[in-house]
Every structure is written in C-alpha cells, then in structure tokens.
Amino acid sequence: MSLHDDMVQMADRAVAASRALARLTTRKKNAILEAMADELESRRDAIKDANARDMEAGEQAGLTGSLLDRLKLSDARIDSMIKGLRDIVVLKDPVGQEISRWMRPNGLEITKIRVPIGVIAIIYESRPNVTADAASLCFKTSNAVILRGGKEAVHSNRVLADALQEGGQKKGLPENSIQLVSTTDRDAIRELVQMVGKVDLAIPRGGEGLINAVIEHARVPVIKHYKGVCHVYVDETADIDTAVAISVNAKCQRPGVCNAIETLLVHQAIAGTFLPKLVEQLKPYKVELRGDEAARAVIPEMKSATEDDWYAEYLDLILSVRVVKDVHAAVEHINRYGSHHSDSIVAGGDHAQKIFTQEVDSSTVYVNASTRFTDGGEFGMGAEIGISTDKLHARGPMGLEELTTYKYVVHGAGQIRE
Amino acid sequence: MSLHDDMVQMADRAVAASRALARLTTRKKNAILEAMADELESRRDAIKDANARDMEAGEQAGLTGSLLDRLKLSDARIDSMIKGLRDIVVLKDPVGQEISRWMRPNGLEITKIRVPIGVIAIIYESRPNVTADAASLCFKTSNAVILRGGKEAVHSNRVLADALQEGGQKKGLPENSIQLVSTTDRDAIRELVQMVGKVDLAIPRGGEGLINAVIEHARVPVIKHYKGVCHVYVDETADIDTAVAISVNAKCQRPGVCNAIETLLVHQAIAGTFLPKLVEQLKPYKVELRGDEAARAVIPEMKSATEDDWYAEYLDLILSVRVVKDVHAAVEHINRYGSHHSDSIVAGGDHAQKIFTQEVDSSTVYVNASTRFTDGGEFGMGAEIGISTDKLHARGPMGLEELTTYKYVVHGAGQIRE
C-alpha cells in the first residue's frame, strides 16, 4: 500500500474515533485517563527498554549530548509523565460547556456550545514525553489524535502510544483514538497536513525547520508553537532594581526556552544608570552582551550588535542590547524584529505602560514582570499543549479550552424564514 | 516592479496602517464610517458610471444574466451599501473588550483582551457591494484590509474603494487602511495568501474554484466561506405539518443560498405518511425530487438519486430524498456527505434531538426550525462577513467579534520566576 493510502486510512480511522469520542462523558474520560496512567506504570520496564534502544541508536548516530538528554526517559521522567496524566483528570472538561445563550425575537433560542475540534495531528521532535502529554490533552477534549514524533524516539513513542491506547481501551477508549505514524518517512508529514476534511488541525512543535516544512505543505489549519524572540523594555520611569531583577530573570533563569528574552531595550534617558547595574548582576551568569553604538558608549566592553542580532533567538546566554529614544521606538523595534510571543515593559508611569500594552502586537504583554510566566501552568490553565505565536483561534498558552471549537445549537418551535 | 514586490509593498503599507488603526477610539471610528457613507453618497454618479463600464464590458464578454445582475449597482443597491455603513456605526465595537481577568497566587493579574487581527485579505468574486461590506467590517474592528475583487467589477471596485479610503481620511482614517489590488492577474491572489508575517488572515468568498485556489496556495491562515450542503432530517417523532413547513421553507424560500437544504432525510417509520404531504406542498415550487429506492417506493414519480446527489450543492429547486433507518443513520449521512454548515432535525422527542445536536458535526444544528436562519443578521450579530464552514477561530456566521483575536496583558509588581 502506498504511503498516501496508508495515511488516508489512518485519518479515516481517526475520524471514526472522533465520532465515538464525542459521545464520552467526562466521568468516563477521567476513568480512561487513570487507566492510561496505570498502564504506563505497568509497562515501565518495556518503556525503558525501548528508550534504551533509541538512546543506543542515537549514540551510534552521533546525536549531541543535549539531544540525547531530551530523548532519555529516566524513572523520574516516566513518573512525571504518569503524574501529568493524573493531573489532567482533575482539570475541568471544557467540552459541552455553554459559552453563551440568547433568545431571538422570533423565539429561536441560540446556544453556543464548546465541542471537540475533531482530529488533531501533532508533529514533534525528539522528546518522547510529548507523546503522553499531547495524547492526553487531545483525549481529555474528546479529540482523536495522530502523533508524528521524531525518528530518534521511534521505539519509545511506539511503546508509549500503545500503552496509552491499549490501557485506555480497558476502560472504553474508542479504538484508534490515539494513533502513532509508524514510518519515519518525512513525506508522511506532508500527507498528514494535506488531509483536508479529515485532519481538522495540525500543531507542529519543534525547530524552525519542522515548522516551516509544515507551513509550506499544509492545506489544513495549523497552529504554530514557533520561536520566541522576546524583549524587556526598560522605560525612563522604571524602578532600576525592579528592571534589573526582571531582566536578569527573563534572560538567565532558563535561557533555552521560548519565553526567555533575547533583546533588552532601554530608554536613552536611563541607559547610563541602568546598564552598568544590569551588567554587574549578569556577571555571575557569564552572559555575552551585544549592543548598539549607544549601549556600547555606556558599556564599551560589549560586542557590537548586527542587524541579525535583533532577529536572533539565541536560546543561550547571549543578550542583545539597544538604546531607544522612547516607548514608541521600543514598540516599533518589538513589532518589527520580535516573534509576537512575550514582551515586557518595566515602567513606573501609566503613560508608557498603556502605549506598550496597547501597541505591542504579541500574544502576551507584561507590565513589571518577567516574560518567563508565559506558560499554561503559570497562567493557571493546568496544562498546555504549546504556546501559539499565531493570532487565529489560539494565541499564547494553549490549554484545554484552546483544543476545542464551538457549534451553535438552535432550538425552535417550527420557525421558518419569511 | 514585479508583481511580487508590488504585493509586498502593499502588505507593508497595510501593516503600517494596522498599527495606526489599533490606536483609534470607537468614537473616531464611527465618525469615519459616517464620512465613508457620505462619500459614497457624494460619488454616486461616479460609482454608477464606473459600474456602467463594468456592465458594458461584461455584456461584451458574454456574462450570463445572473452574473450581470450580481454586478449591477442600481440606486437601490447603492442606497443599501450606504445604509450598511451607517448600520455598522451602531454596532458594539468588540476591540478593547475584556474577555476575562483573573489573579494568580503570585499576584500577577492576567487580562484577556480583544484586539484586532491585523491585516485581512478578502478575496471575492463579482458582487461589488462586498467591497463596502468587507471594508467597513474590517475597519470597525480596526483591521487593515486588502481587497481583491473579481475582474468583472474592476472599475466599480476601484471607485468604491477610493471613496471609502478618501472619504474616511477626511475624518482621520489612516492611509492605506483600505487597499484594493489593481491588477486582475490571478497570481496576485497567490502572492497575497503567501505573505506570512504580513497578512494575518485570508477570507475567500466565492465559488469552489476560488476557494480551492486559495487553499492550495495559502501559507497564511484561511477562513473559508464554503459551500452549504444542508439537510433536514424528519424523525419518526416529528409533527408532520411542522416537518413539511420547515422542509419547504428550507428548500424553496431562497434556493440559491448556502443555508438552503439540498437533501431531505426521513425516518423509515414516517416516510409513508410524510413524503406524500411534502410532495404536495412542494408542487407550487416545481421542485425536482431525486430519491433513493425506499423514497421512490413511496413516491414512484421521483427520479433516482445517485451517490453524487448526496454530495451535491444544487443551489436550485432540486431536492434529494433519502429514507433512513433512524437518527443515527441520519447523523452518519450528514457527517459523511454534508459540508458542516447547517442541518436541522424535526422531532418531538428529546432522545433523537439530543443525539442529533450532539453528533452532527456542523457549525449550526437546528431543532424544529428552518436551516435558513444561519445568518449574522438572523443571529442578532448585526452584520456578517461570511459564514465559516471551518472549525478553527470562527464557525458559522462571522460577525465583528470573529474579526478580532485576543492578547493577554499581565500586570505585575516586579514578579520574577523562581
């Protein structure tokens, strides 16, 4: 059978599963989630064996240490996966929730109700824990899921997906609710994202290469978990100590994640007092600074920033620094070079805060807080499937609600249109 | 300059306009809408002249009568366009609306706020009144719009777009808020829908050919105003007179629109009594009936329906009829052959109603009412830019709210992440 036919059949099975999933009660879904967690527990050894095979293949293929680390399923990570499943049990089920209801003058009663999206394709890279996270969040919202993980984690993902599906089936999970694409053929991704009418949404999670490959081929809607070129802007009205603490936290607390900052913008009137204090506090972290001319006039030992630096997502202990004329210039810089993810202003006065929050075109805009809080857990959503840098449907942290859509149910008593 | 460069520059101008638009108050936007309406009034003769040129070219090109009718801008239609603009003034502005607000244990206050989408491309066919409708709805929601109308209406659209932009500018409309693509080169559509990072959303409105061309090339998010293969299902518990009235209304009141039905499904237990009464009431409308074997056993003079009939959007006085075993079979038929637009059940009992509303995967599901109510006006939205048959972002009638997205604004007092 061709890859195309294979994928069409997989999608058809997912559509059938999605119909059955839409009929499950929350109570039943929660019992199934518990059964999935139990099954992971009872297959712990098999999971570790499969992961050892992936690790061995990865070492032979010469994967870097950080890639191998992401691939590794230690007991602690398996524990955390299992805990993740049980945590989702207690989250509120958005499916069936009434969003609004109103009556029309002709007596029609319109109810807007949250419903599952249908079939969701998740396309991701090396971390095998995404298999459990994504499958459980899609399931809790009654969506069928097709998983396409990275080829490095192929054995781990297979054991995990089978455990989830088979464990869930013991408590009534519909067949094919959780499917994993077996082939590591890259064309499978293209097939998946072109399945109009069968796949309702594709969510790519990974590096720029993966995301761009998905966008290029997609015919189905895509929500991207894209890069984070995030900023802190320090206004002339900022409290200096607050500004330093926020900047250091946003850069250094975990530099390899999307909501860490890459560029610091500082108002010209405060640069001379702020930058030296910042530099001092950054020293223990050995952050490499790259500044524009005005920043280098204050801190001459900074490297010179190039135009490329403003676009760069370092994901590392590097920070570009630019002195700006005012809040308007800061907004312009962020909208031009940023990735519409998370940006923060540190300012004392209402005026600059208001301009910044209104005009910065990003999913999350902070006033006097670190950008590192852009996260489903930190937002109180309980779990997240990603952080959308898109504007449509879901923006910012995507929790359970963002994995649903709505339909209108209209009750009448024989109304016809005149 | 190449078409590509041309379109990039147009999109850049739209992005700049979108920033300025985001700063306008509702009061100012309403004054601008009034000025647009006044300008259309004062350029009425120029609009009619331009339209006469389009009509003449259309006649020479041998356009059909119905296409010419859609192209025509009579005084009544210009009146209605002007009234449309003034009607939008009184609609509530969703921009800036607080969707929700909550406090986190660490003191961060998260506000979810409605904001404009940014730059919207509207790609449509012959009706020039879409120019005014789409431009004004996008403007009221502070979005910049790039209009790409059909080549038949090129002169009318130019005069209309200029009047709206120039009239609005008198009251402070930012430059390039409303731009019309001048070239009739089809490649302009491709350029437009591939402008990732500049065009935030494309809305195609038109026939299947246009929609498919947009989906095939799009890299930016698309919300489709697609076809309507709608159904009425008459359950065994239906009140016969109600079922007949709804079926006749849904088919005949305006057969050429997307929310008219194409297929009637009837429960086997009631087909024998229902179908003869339906046929009698359809007689005055001269509806052609195409039935399956079971339907033809009741009404032998029906033509035989083929598999293609179940997929067909006739947009005409043709109705396919199928006898089904029960509500489950009706749901299965609709989910398989329908276009996820609008479907109605006529039933007395709760049981079938509940199965139908829960399991039919359509934007709008009716109980005991005609499908013809799927419409922004009928829903009380005041205006609509289309009816989405997609599931993401907007589903069903799209009013002003659906032309917005949201952002999170987070206020802190120096919070950093531990």
Beta-bridge partners for A342: A364
Say if the Cβ atoms of B239 and A118 lie within 8 Å.
Answer: no
Identify whether the C-beta of residue A414 lies closer than 8 Å to the C-beta of residue B370: no
At how many degrees (to 10) do helices A154-169 and A129-140 cross? 30
Residue ranges covered by each domain of chain A: 3-226+394-411, 230-373
Q: Tell me the mean pLDDT in the region A170-191.
A: 95
Mean pLDDT, chain A, rounded, equals 96
Residues of A in contact with B216 (CB under 8 A): 219
pLDDT score at B384: 87
Neighboring chain A residues of B121 at a CB cutoff of 8 Å: none
Measured CA to CA, the distance from residue A368 to residue B409 in angstroms comes to: 11
pLDDT at res. A218: 93
- How big is the A-B interface in CB pairs under 8 Å? 201
pLDDT tens-place string over residues A217-260:
999 999 987 889 999 999 999 999 999 999 999 999 999 999 99
Measured CA to CA, the distance from residue B354 to residue B308 in angstroms comes to: 29
Q: B368: closest CA among B340, B342, B344?
A: B344
> What is the mean predicted confidence (pLDDT) over A75-79?
96
Alpha-carbon distance A279 to A288, whole Å? 10
CA distance B415 to chain A (A): 5
- Domain topology for A3-226+394-411: Aldehyde Dehydrogenase; Chain A, domain 1 (3.40.605)
Per-residue pLDDT, A392: 94
d(CA A351, CA A354): 5
Question: Is A409–B216 a contact, with Cβ atoms under 8 angstroms apart?
Answer: no
Q: H helices of A231-366, where?
A: 240-252, 268-282, 293-298, 307-311, 327-337, 350-359
Which residue, B31, B25, B24, is CA-closest to B168? B31
Q: Percent of chain A beyond pLDDT 90?
A: 90
Among A212, A172, A165, A219, CA closest to A192: A219
Q: Is A104 left (phi over 0), alpha (psi -120 to 50) or beta?
A: beta
Type and span of the H or E element at B159: helix B154-169
Is a pLDDT exceeding 90 seen at residue A395?
yes
Residues of A in contact with B362 (CB under 8 A): 407
* A355-382: average pLDDT: 95
Distance, in Å, from the CA atom of B61 to the CA atom of A416, rounded to the nearest integer, reads 40
Enter the DSSP assignment of B384.
-
Q: Write the pLDDT tens digit of every residue in A268-286.
A: 999 999 999 999 999 999 9
Closest CA to B106 of A59, A375, A268: A375
Query: Which single residue is written with the structure tokens 């958005």?
Result: A94
The architecture CATH gives domain A230-373 = 3-Layer(aba) Sandwich (3.40)
Name the residue in chain A with its Cα closest to that of B415: A369
Binning pLDDT at 50, 70 and 90, where does residue A331 land? Answer: very high
Across A17-35, average pLDDT? 97
Q: CA of B239: which chain A residue's CA is closest?
A: A414
Provide, as residue numbers in chain B, all residues whose Cβ is less than 8 Å from the Cβ of A248: 416
C-alpha B219, offset from chain centre: 21
pLDDT along chain B (418 residues), means of 10: 94 97 97 98 98 96 90 96 95 96 97 98 91 96 97 96 98 98 91 95 90 91 90 98 98 94 98 98 97 98 97 96 98 96 96 96 98 94 89 95 97 96
One-character DSSP codes across A201-265: EEEEES-HHHHHHHHHH--S-B--B----EEEEE-TTS-HHHHHHHHHHHHHSSTTSTTSEEEEE
Asked whether the predicted pLDDT for residue A184 surpasses 90, the reply is no
Residues of B in contact with A218 (CB under 8 A): 219
Contact A411 B361 (CB under 8 A): no
Residue A181 and residue A214: Cα distance in Å, rounded? 16
B378, closest residue in chain A (CA to CA) = A104
pLDDT above 90 for A206 = no
For residue A392, the chain B residue with the least C-alpha distance is B393
Region of residue A48 (left: phi > 0; alpha: psi -120 to 50; beta: else): alpha
Report the alpha-carbon distance of residue B204 to residue B317 in Å, rounded.
26
pLDDT on residue B208: 84
A349 pLDDT above the threshold of 90: no
pLDDT, mean of residues A161-172:
98
Optimal mutation site among A113, A211, A417, A418, interface B, most CBs of chain B within 10 A: A417
For the residues A352-380, what does the mean pLDDT come to?
A: 96
Answer whether B410 sits within 8 Å of A201, measured CB to CB: no
Partner-chain contact A368 B411, CB within 8 Å = yes
Nearest CB to A108 within list B19, B102, B369: B369
B242 contacts in A (CB within 8 Å)?
414
Q: Quick: pLDDT tens for A80-126.
A: 999 999 999 999 999 999 999 999 999 999 999 999 999 999 999 87
